[in-house]
Amino acid sequence: MSDFNRGYARTIPADRADMSVDAGLRSFMLGVYNKLALGLLLSAGLAWLTADFAPVQQLLYVVNPAGRLVGFTGLGTIVRFAPLAVILGAMFIRNPSPRAAGALYWSVVAAIGAGLGVWLLAFTGSSVALTFLITASAFGMLSLIGYTTKKDLTALGTFLIMGLFGLVIASLVGMFWHPAGFSFIISVLGVLIFSGLIAYDTPRLKMTYYQLGGDASSMAVATNNGALNLYLNFINLFQFLLQLTGSRR
């Protein structure tokens, strides 16, 4: 989304990109993951508020007497597409300040969290909780792979980004065309693509740390944007897994 390097071009000491021996890298990555954890916690709280707190629920969703989602209000439709609007708008911001990067992160987290209530209305609480635990476990495993791999994942990243664009196009097509099995295929592809992106983005963050050369302002921006990338990967993986394995109300 932004130029984290701010003009820095350095040879990255690959043998140093190890959290067990580099305290600076460990601190940087912990900053990213702490912000990610807080973002997920906020999202969970907002999802519960919009799905279970009647005054807020009625502002966003149309629910039948059995408690099942049947549609969205005007405000609910705005909330549904707000994260995409914020992210697209952020693409035009070059060299953001740490404060702007932080505002972007929390704006996206809040908007997505408010929209996640739809999953609590569409699926049973137990399946949502189980899918979250599965997602968290998969995320941890994939991040560990990213930390420990010695391979150059640049080619994989290019392939995954192309797959992501294809997934977006297919999802848009799926809004108007519903052939048998199409949703299942989209969900499977989504799980594979976002699993790959988690494994790819983790070592990319490690390399970003060294490219920044210790610049405090750039490091703060990178922490926010790194947390945002991982947050989006986590949420999308969760949603696609829920569509594959969740039990609907």
Strands (E) located in 17-102: 61-63, 69-72
Among 1, 217, 246, 240, residue whose Cα is nearest residue 108: 1
CA distances from 214 to 6, 217, 225 (A): 12, 9, 17
Start-to-end Cα distance in the chain: 38
Q: Are the C-beta atoms of 227 and 233 separated by less than 8 Å? A: no
- For residue 117, pLDDT over 80 is answered with yes
pLDDT at position 210 is 87
List, in order, residues 6 or more apart from 149 with CB less than 8 Å away: 199, 203
For 189-209, the pLDDT digits (tens) are 999 999 999 999 988 898 888
For 198-243, the pLDDT digits (tens) are 999 988 898 888 888 777 888 999 999 999 999 999 999 999 999 9
The rounded mean pLDDT for the chain is 84
Q: Which residue has the higher pLDDT, 15 or 65?
A: 65
pLDDT at position 175 is 73
Reported pTM: 0.85
Alpha carbon of residue 166 to chain centroid:
18
Instruction: Report which residue type is found at 82.
Output: A
For 175-184, the pLDDT digits (tens) are 777 777 888 8
pLDDT at position 2 is 38
Average pLDDT over residues 117-128: 89
| Residues linked to residue 248 through DSSP beta bridges, in sequence order | 123
With cut-offs at 50, 70 and 90, classify the pLDDT of residue 145: confident
CA-based radius of gyration for the chain = 19
Q: How far is it, in rounded angstroms, from Cα 7 to Cα 29?
A: 22
Average pLDDT over residues 5-17: 45
Q: Are the C-beta atoms of 174 and 183 separated by less than 8 Å? A: yes
Question: What single-letter DSSP state applies at residue 3?
Answer: -
